[in-house]
Every structure is written in structure tokens, then in C-alpha cells.
Structure 1
Amino acid sequence: MEKQPNNPLHGKRLDAILEELLDYYGGWKPLGQQITINCFLDNPSLKSSLTFLRKTPWARKKVEDLYLEVLVKS
């Protein structure tokens, strides 16, 4: 297995990333204002959002990029 010491996403689960973003922004609505995708705006849930993000690479990248921005700010 390849080591990635400089990759802050290495070993980080998508559900943990999403939960941290929800905590940071204070819920689905503010998160949906940061990343405008329907799974955050229309009847959001952790399960449905994870299902969508796992199937949609461009949306997952947006979530991961936002998470990296939040890490830099913290």
C-alpha cells in the first residue's frame, strides 16, 4: 500500500468529511450555499448525500476541495 503523508484526505472517510463540513457550516442549508447540489438542498440526509457523492465524481471533488479549504482556515 502506498503511503501519502502529504495528502490530508488520505485515510479520511467521506462520511467523516461530510459530517465535519456540516458541523463547520452549521447544517445542510449553509453547506448547500457553499456547494450548490440538490442532495444538500432538496430533502437532504447523510445517507442520500453519501450515495450521490459516491456515484458522482465531480460532486465528490467539490466536497473534498471545500473540506481542504476548511482545513487551511482551521
Structure 2
Amino acid sequence: MNHQPNNPLHGLTLEKILTRLVEHYDWSGLATKIPINCFSNDPSIKSSLKFLRKTPWARDKVEALYISTFAGSSPWLK
């Protein structure tokens, strides 16, 4: 089994990451932090996941925001 103790995203799905960010910032706050259309124009988890899975630069921004927001202060991260 491949353990990654220094990777704060290890074990988290993109859906969990996005859901937690939406709970924290709401869609409008998330769109302010990361100005992409799928967060500001009729946003949903499903449509955003579809976009993020095929757009590596956007996924990188979402993951970086998650780390900067929750790393070290959230029970979601081990």
C-alpha cells in the first residue's frame, strides 16, 4: 500500500475537496477566489467536477485553495 503522509490531499476525492470548499466559501466566494465560469454561472458540484477533471490548471487552483484554507486546521486532513 502506498502511503503519502506528507501529501495533505492523500485520500481525498476531488468531490470531497470541492464540497468542503463550497461549504466554507459558498459558490460566490469560491468564484471570487478562483474566477472560473463553472463557479459563477449556474454552479453545481456535478458540472464543476466535469470541468475540473478535464482542466488540470483549474484543478490545481482548487487543490491549492483547499490546502491553503484547511491544511493544519481541519479534521478532514490528517
Structure 1 partner of 2:49: 50
Which whole-Å CA distance do the structure 1 matches of 2:65 and 2:53 have between them? 16
**Structure 2 counterpart of 1:8, which letter?**
P
Structure 2 partner of 1:66: 65
RMSD between superposed Cα atoms in Å: 1.2
Aligned pair count?
A: 73
**Structure 1 counterpart of 2:20, which letter?**
E
Is the contact made by 2:53 and 2:59 (CA closer than 8 Å) also made in structure 1?
yes
Structure 2 partner of 1:16: 16
Which whole-Å CA distance do the structure 2 matches of 1:72 and 1:47 have between them? 25
The unaligned stretches of length 5 or more in structure 1 are: none
Q: Which has the higher helix share?
A: 1
Is the contact made by 2:21 and 2:30 (CA closer than 8 Å) also made in structure 1?
yes
**Structure 2 counterpart of 1:65, which letter?**
A
Which whole-Å CA distance do the structure 1 matches of 2:59 and 2:20 have between them? 15
Q: State, as a whole percentage, how many aligned pairs show the same letter.
A: 58
Report the CA distance between 1:2 and its aligned residue: 2.4
The unaligned stretches of length 5 or more in structure 2 are: 74-78
Is the contact made by 2:8 and 2:71 (CA closer than 8 Å) also made in structure 1?
no
Which whole-Å CA distance do the structure 1 matches of 2:42 and 2:53 have between them? 18
**Structure 1 counterpart of 2:12, which letter?**
K
**TM-score, normalised to structure 2's length?**
0.87
